[in-house]
C-alpha cells in the first residue's frame, strides 16, 4: 500500500499533519485520516458521476456517513408547494431529487467484528480521487476491537464510457494470520436520510420515496425495481459480482423489496487477498415497464462484465486522457490552486459528460442541494467550459433545454407572454420556484440559454444543431423579449419589472444585464433565421417579426448615471441608499439570512456580479473606461454571498488590470468547495463556482472573449504565478495558450489552423510552430476595494 509523497496540506494549519485534511497534489485529491465530522464534505468532493449516474463519496461500509446519496439525473419526486398566500401562476408542484437505491454498500466482518472506522484502531486511512484514472481509491489499515488487523483497498468508478455502469473493486488482505472474512454487498433502497428541509411535506415525500415493484436474486446477481409515489417515475438497480479468493468460499444471495444482499464468507490467510468486484447497473424511465427496466439494467451489467474491471479502467483512462488533452489547465506557482483547478475541471466533466437528454443540476450529481434543480448557472458558467472542452456535452445540455421548450412556451403563455420562459429552477423543465420574484420575473434565464446556444454554435459551427434545435431556442427566447419589452416615448425599448442575476435586487426596470443579453438574443435570433430560412418558416417567423427584433435591439435602453458616470445595475440603482457596511457584523453574512428582502432590494448592496457579469458577457457594449469605472463602483458594493460571483469578478478585474485582485478571486472560486467557504458543501459541490475557476483562468488571465463568435485573447500573468497554460477547442481545433512573464505563446495541439487575436492583434495559430507575442503592460489604476470584511478568501473562516 503506497502512501505516496506527502505534500503540503490544504487548510489554515499547514504542517499540522496530525489534523486530517486534503493533501496537495497536482493530479489527485487525497484525504488522509478519517475525521468523521468532515465526512459530509468529503462525500461531496469525492463524489463520482458521469452526468447520468452519481454517487457521493461515502465509505463502502455505509457508516459512519455524512449524507448518503446516489442520484440518477432527472429522477425526482414531486410534492405540493405550500403557500400561506397563493398567487396566480405560482407553481403548485415542487420536484426534489431522490436518493435512489444505494449500490455502493459493501460491508466487511472480520471474525464477526464489523469494519467500522469509529471502532477498533485505524493504523492508516486515506481516500484518493485521481483525475487521470477517474478512480476513487480508499486504503485502510484497520485493527478490530478484538485485535485482528486487515488491509482494505477499494477502488470505485462511475464509468464515463458506459453511462449506466459503476464498478467497485474491493480487496481485503489479512495482516496477521488467517481470519474469517464475511463480505455483504447490498442494493439498498429507501436508506434513512436526515432531511435538512423545514417543510414537512417535502420531508414526508423524501422519507421513503421508493415503492418496491420487483426484486430478484440469483447466483451473484440481483435486481431491484422501484417507482416513486407521486412523480410516477420508475428505476432499476442491479448488481453482479466476481469474487477472487482461495478455497472455501460460501456465498448466499437474497432479495426483498428494499434490499438485495450478496453474502460471501471465507477464511483468508495472511498474505492472501479476497477480491470482490462489484458491477452496478442503473436505469430509470417515466414510461418503460418494470420488466423492461429490469432488462435494461441487466443488459448494462452484462456489458460491464464483458468489458471487465480492467477494461472499464482502461476505457476510463482513455476517456480522461482525451479530456485532459483538450482541457488541461496548468498553474505554476501555486500548487494548491493547480490541484483545485484540475479538481474543478474533473467535476465539471463528471457533471456534464453523459447527461445527454437531461439537465446539468446546480450541484451536478454530488448532493441533494438546491433539491437537485438546474438553474441558469449551467448555461452561463458551466456550458462555456464544456463548449470549449467537451462541446458534445454542451450540445446535449442545450438539447435538454430544447426538449423542454413546450413547457417553457406554456409557462410564457401562463405569464401572458409569447415565446419561451425557461424556469428559474427545475428538474423536468417545469418551474419549481415558489418565490415569484425569481420564479416568474428572472427572465434573463431565457437570454442566458440563448447566449449559450449562440456560443455553442459559434464555437463548433454545428449546423445540424443550429437547424434542429438552436434556431428554435433563439427564436422562442427572442419572442419572449419582444413581448416583455415595450417601446416608450421617454427612452426607447424598455424591459421593466424583471429580476436580474443579483439576488439582492428583484423586479426592477431595465436591468442592464438583462437588457443587453436580450439585445443579443434578439440579434442572434434574427441571424439564425437568416441562416435557416426553412426553420424560420416552420416557426412562422415573418420578415416583420425579425425586423421588429432588430428594431428592439437597436433601441434597447441602457440606463446611465451622468452624475456618477457609471451604469446603474438597473434603473435608479445608484440613487438608492448605500448599505451600512460599517455596522454589518461578520456573522450577519450571508445578508439574506439576517435582513429582509425589502431592505436588501432597496439598497446599493449586490449579492453577486450582475452589472459586472454584463461587463463580461456583453463586454462589446462597454468602453474600457466604462468597465474600469463600473467595476470599481460595483466592487465596493458586492458582498459575494453567492458562489456565482468571484469568478466573474476575477475576469473583469483581470481585464481592468487589477491582476492581484483577479488572482485572489480566482483562488476563492477554485477553493469554494475545497474549503467549504459557503458552509454548505455537505449538500453538494457548486458547479458554477468550479466552472468559474476555469473562467477566471481562461477568460480572466487568458482574456478569452467570444463576442460575435470571434475568438480573442488578451493574456496577462498575475504576479503571484510563474506560468499559466490552458487548452481549449474551437471549431474542432485544439489550441493551447501559455502565459508567461511578458509574453504569451499560442500552439495548435491538433486540427486546422485558427485565426484568433492577441490583445487586438490578429494572429493565426497553425501547425508549424507556436506563436509567441509580447504582452503589453497592464493598465494602471487604483485597485478597487471590496466592502469591509468581504475581501476574497482562500480559506473558510478560522475554526
Residues annotated as part of the active site: 503
422, 449 contact by CB (below 8 A): yes
Cell of 787: 466592502
Tell whether residue 563 is a contact of its own copies (CB under 8 A): yes
Interacting residues with its own copies between 632 and 661 (CB under 8 A): none
Between 598 and 799, name the residue whose CB sits nearer to its own copies.
598
Residue 620 C-beta: closest distance to its own copies, Å: 27
CA distance 368 to 65: 15
Size, binding site for its own copies by CB under 8 A: 53
Residue 381 C-beta: closest distance to its own copies, Å: 22
- In 441-557 the beta strands, taken as DSSP E runs, fall at 486-488, 492-494
Residue 16 C-beta: closest distance to its own copies, Å: 37
Q: How many CA atoms lie within 13 A of 563 on its CB side?
A: 5
Between 372 and 703, name the residue whose CB sits nearer to its own copies.
372
Instruction: Choose which of 12, 117, 265, 414 interacts with its own copies (CB under 8 A).
Output: 414
Instruction: Choose which of 575, 743, 772, 785 interacts with its own copies (CB under 8 A).
Output: 575
Minimal CA–CA distance to 512: which of 427, 424, 611, 429?
611
Instruction: Choose which of 114, 311, 572, 770 interacts with its own copies (CB under 8 A).
Output: 572
CA distance 242 to 305: 9
Interacting residues with its own copies between 418 and 447 (CB under 8 A): 433-437, 440-441
Residue 568 C-beta: closest distance to its own copies, Å: 11
CA distance 501 to 512: 10
Minimal CA–CA distance to 326: which of 382, 379, 377, 387?
387
Between 54 and 568, name the residue whose CB sits nearer to its own copies.
568
Is residue 419 left, alpha or beta, with left meaning phi > 0 and alpha meaning psi from -120 to 50? left
Q: Which helix (H) or strand (E) holds 578?
A: strand 577-578
Between 88 and 250, name the residue whose CB sits nearer to its own copies.
88
Minimal CA–CA distance to 640: which of 601, 680, 689?
689
Cell of 283: 436505469
Between 742 and 788, name the residue whose CB sits nearer to its own copies.
788
Interacting residues with its own copies between 593 and 622 (CB under 8 A): 593-599, 601-603
Binding mask 367-386 for its own copies (x = CB under 8 A): --------------------
737, 697 contact by CB (below 8 A): no
Q: Torsion angle, CA of 392/397/398/400, rounded to 10 degrees?
A: 130
Between 4 and 497, name the residue whose CB sits nearer to its own copies.
497
Residue 699 C-beta: closest distance to its own copies, Å: 32
Residue 78 C-beta: closest distance to its own copies, Å: 13
Interacting residues with its own copies between 492 and 531 (CB under 8 A): 494, 496-498, 506-507, 509
Between 50 and 95, name the residue whose CB sits nearer to its own copies.
95
Residue 599 C-beta: closest distance to its own copies, Å: 5
Binding region for its own copies (CB under 8 A) out of 233-241, 401-409, 569-577, 631-639: 569-577
Residue 485 C-beta: closest distance to its own copies, Å: 8
149, 271 contact by CB (below 8 A): no
Tell whether residue 415 is a contact of its own copies (CB under 8 A): yes
Residue 432 C-beta: closest distance to its own copies, Å: 9
Binding region for its own copies (CB under 8 A) out of 381-389, 414-422, 458-466, 742-750: 414-422
Interacting residues with its own copies between 59 and 118 (CB under 8 A): 81-89, 94
Between 339 and 604, name the residue whose CB sits nearer to its own copies.
604
The SS3 call for residue 296 is helix
In total, the chain counts a number of residues equal to: 799
Q: What angle do CA 158, 163, 165 make, to 5 degrees?
A: 55
Interacting residues with its own copies between 167 and 206 (CB under 8 A): 198-199
Instruction: Choose which of 489, 760, 777, 782 interacts with its own copies (CB under 8 A).
Output: 489
Cell of 340: 483545485
Instruction: Choose which of 116, 230, 571, 740 interacts with its own copies (CB under 8 A).
Output: 571
CA distance 499 to 43: 34
CA distance 387 to 458: 10
Minimal CA–CA distance to 679: which of 577, 799, 772?
799
User: Which residue matches cell numbers 459551427?
Assistant: 461
The SS3 call for residue 616 is helix
Between 82 and 232, name the residue whose CB sits nearer to its own copies.
82
CA 757, 759, 760, 761 torsion: positive or negative?
A: negative
Cell of 392: 458534445
Tell whether residue 479 is a contact of its own copies (CB under 8 A): no
Tell whether residue 230 is a contact of its own copies (CB under 8 A): no
CA distance 570 to 611: 8
Q: Which residues contact 90 (CB under 8 A, 6 or more apart)?
A: 81, 83, 434, 436, 439
Cis peptide before 428 (omega within 30 of 0): no
Between 576 and 759, name the residue whose CB sits nearer to its own copies.
576
216, 255 contact by CB (below 8 A): yes
Binding region for its own copies (CB under 8 A) out of 57-65, 146-154, 488-496, 635-643: 488-496
Residue 574 C-beta: closest distance to its own copies, Å: 8
Minimal CA–CA distance to 434: which of 623, 229, 201, 252?
201
Residue 76 C-beta: closest distance to its own copies, Å: 16
Cell of 374: 438546474
Between 133 and 519, name the residue whose CB sits nearer to its own copies.
519
Paired strand residues for 226:
212, 235
Tell whether residue 731 is a contact of its own copies (CB under 8 A): no
In the complex, the residues that contact its own copies under the rule CB under 8 A are: 81-89, 94, 198-199, 414-417, 433-437, 440-441, 486, 488-491, 494, 496-498, 506-507, 509, 563, 571-572, 574-577, 592-599, 601-603
Amino acid at each position: 500500500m503506497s502512501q505516496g509523497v506527502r505534500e503540503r496540506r490544504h487548510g489554515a494549519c499547514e504542517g499540522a499533519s496530525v489534523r486530517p485534511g486534503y493533501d496537495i497534489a497536482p493530479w489527485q485529491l487525497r484525504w488522509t485520516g478519517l475525521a468523521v465530522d468532515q465526512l459530509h464534505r468529503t462525500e461531496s468532493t469525492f463524489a463520482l458521476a458521469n452526468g447520468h449516474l452519481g454517487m457521493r463519496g461515502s465509505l463502502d461500509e455505509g457508516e459512519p456517513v455524512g449524507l448518503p446519496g446516489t442520484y440518477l439525473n432527472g429522477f425526482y419526486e414531486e410534492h405540493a408547494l405550500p403557500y400561506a398566500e397563493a398567487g396566480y401562476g405560482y407553481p403548485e408542484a415542487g420536484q426534489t431529487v431522490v436518493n435512489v437505491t444505494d449500490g455502493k454498500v459493501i460491508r466487511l466482518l472480520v471474525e464477526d467484528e464489523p469494519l467500522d472506522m469509529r471502532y477498533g484502531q485505524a493504523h492508516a486511512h486515506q481516500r484518493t480521487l485521481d483525475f487521470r484514472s477517474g478512480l476513487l481509491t480508499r486504503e485502510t489499515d484497520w485493527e478490530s476491537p478484538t485485535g485482528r488487523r486487515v488491509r482494505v483497498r477499494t477502488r470505485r468508478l462511475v464509468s464515463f464510457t458506459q453511462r449506466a455502469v459503476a464498478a467497485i473493486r474491493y480487496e481485503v488482505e489479512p495482516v496477521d494470520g488467517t481470519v474469517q472474512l464475511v463480505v455483504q454487498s447490498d442494493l439498498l433502497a429507501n436508506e434513512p436520510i436526515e432531511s435538512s428541509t423545514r417543510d414537512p411535506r417535502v420531508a414526508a415525500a423524501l422519507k421513503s420515496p421508493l415503492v418496491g415493484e420487483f426484486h430478484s436474486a440469483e447466483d451473484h446477481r440481483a435486481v431491484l425495481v422501484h417507482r416513486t409515489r407521486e412523480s410516477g417515475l420508475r428505476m432499476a438497480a442491479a448488481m453482479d459480482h466476481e469474487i477472487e479468493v482461495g478455497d472455501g468460499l460460501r456465498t448466499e444471495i437474497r432479495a426483498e423489496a428494499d434490499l438485495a444482499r450478496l453474502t460471501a464468507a471465507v477464511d483468508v490467510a495472511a498474505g492472501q487477498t479476497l477480491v470482490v468486484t462489484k458491477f452496478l447497473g442503473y436505469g430509470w424511465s417515466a414510461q418503460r415497464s418494470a420488466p423492461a427496466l429490469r432488462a435494461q439494467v441487466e443488459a448494462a451489467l452484462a456489458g460491464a462484465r464483458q468489458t471487465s474491471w480492467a477494461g472499464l479502467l482502461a476505457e476510463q483512462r482513455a476517456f480522461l486522457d482525451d479530456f485532459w488533452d483538450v482541457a488541461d489547465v496548468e498553474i505554476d506557482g501555486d500548487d494548491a490552486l493547480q490541484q483545485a483547478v484540475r479538481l474543478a475541471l474533473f467535476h465539471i466533466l463528471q457533471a456534464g459528460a453523459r447527461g445527454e437528454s437531461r439537465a446539468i443540476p446546480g450541484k451536478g450529481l454530488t448532493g441533494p442541494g438546491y433539491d437537485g434543480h438546474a438553474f441558469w448557472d449551467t448555461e452561463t458558467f458551466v456550458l462555456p467550459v464544456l463548449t470549449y472542452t467537451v462541446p458534445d456535452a454542451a450540445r446535449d445540455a442545450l438539447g435538454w433545454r430544447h426538449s423542454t421548450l413546450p413547457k417553457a412556451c406554456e409557462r410564457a403563455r401562463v405569464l401572458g407572454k409569447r415565446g419561451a420562459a425557461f424556469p428559474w429552477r427545475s428538474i423536468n423543465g417545469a418551474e419549481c420556484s415558489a418565490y415569484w420574484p425569481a420564479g416568474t420575473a428572472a427572465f434573463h434565464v431565457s437570454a442566458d440559454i440563448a447566449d449559450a446556444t449562440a456560443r455553442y454554435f459559434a464555437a463548433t459551427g454545428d449546423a445540424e444543431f443550429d437547424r434542429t434545435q438552436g434556431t428554435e431556442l433563439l427564436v422562442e427566447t427572442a419572442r419572449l423579449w419582444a413581448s416583455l419589452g415595450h417601446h416608450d416615448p421617454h427612452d426607447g425599448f424598455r424591459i421593466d419589472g424583471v429580476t436580474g442575476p443579483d439576488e439582492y435586487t428583484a423586479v426592477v426596470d431595465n436591468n442592464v444585464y438583462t437588457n443587453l443579453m436580450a439585445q443579443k438574443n434578439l440579434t442572434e435570433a434574427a441571424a439564425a433565421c437568416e441562416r435557416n430560412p426553412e426553420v424560420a418558416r416552420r416557426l412562422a417567423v415573418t420578415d416583420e417579426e425579425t425586423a421588429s427584433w432588430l428594431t428592439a435591439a437597436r433601441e434597447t435602453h441602457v440606463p446611465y448615471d451622468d452624475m456618477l458616470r457609471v451604469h446603474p445595475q438597473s434603473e435608479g440603482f445608484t440613487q438608492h441608499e448605500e448599505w451600512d457596511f460599517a455596522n454589518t457584523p461578520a456573522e450577519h453574512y450571508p445578508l439574506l439570512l439576517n435582513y429582509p428582502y425589502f431592505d436588501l432590494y432597496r439598497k446599493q448592496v449586490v449579492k453577486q456580479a450582475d452589472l459586472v457579469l454584463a461587463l463580461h458577457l456583453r463586454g462589446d457594449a462597454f468602453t474600457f473606461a466604462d468597465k474600469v469605472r463600473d467595476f470599481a463602483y460595483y466592487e465596493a458594493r458586492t458582498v459575494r454571498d453567492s458562489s456565482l460571483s468571484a469568478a466573474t469578478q476575477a475576469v473583469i478585474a483581470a481585464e481592468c488590470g487589477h491582476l492581484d485582485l483577479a488572482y485572489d478571486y480566482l483562488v476563492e472560486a477554485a477553493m469554494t468547495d475545497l474549503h467549504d467557504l459557503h458552509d454548505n458543501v455537505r449538500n453538494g459541490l457548486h458547479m458554477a463556482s468550479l466552472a468559474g475557476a476555469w473562467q477566471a483562468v481562461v477568460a480572466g488571465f487568458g482574456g478569452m472573449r467570444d463576442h460575435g463568435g470571434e475568438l480573442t485573447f488578451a493574456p496577462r500573468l498575475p504576479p503571484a504565478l510563474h506560468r499559466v497554460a490552458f487548452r481549449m477547442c474551437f471549431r474542432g481545433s485544439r489550441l493551447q495558450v501559455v502565459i508567461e512573464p511578458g509574453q504569451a505563446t499560442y500552439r495548435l495541439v491538433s486540427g486546422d489552423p485558427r485565426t484568433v487575436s492577441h490583445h487586438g492583434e490578429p494572429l493565426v495559430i497553425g501547425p508549424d510552430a507556436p506563436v509567441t507575442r509580447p504582452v503589453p503592460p497592464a493598465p494602471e489604476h487604483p485597485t478597487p476595494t471590496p466592502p469591509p470584511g468581504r475581501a476574497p478568501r482562500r480559506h473558510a473562516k478560522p475554526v
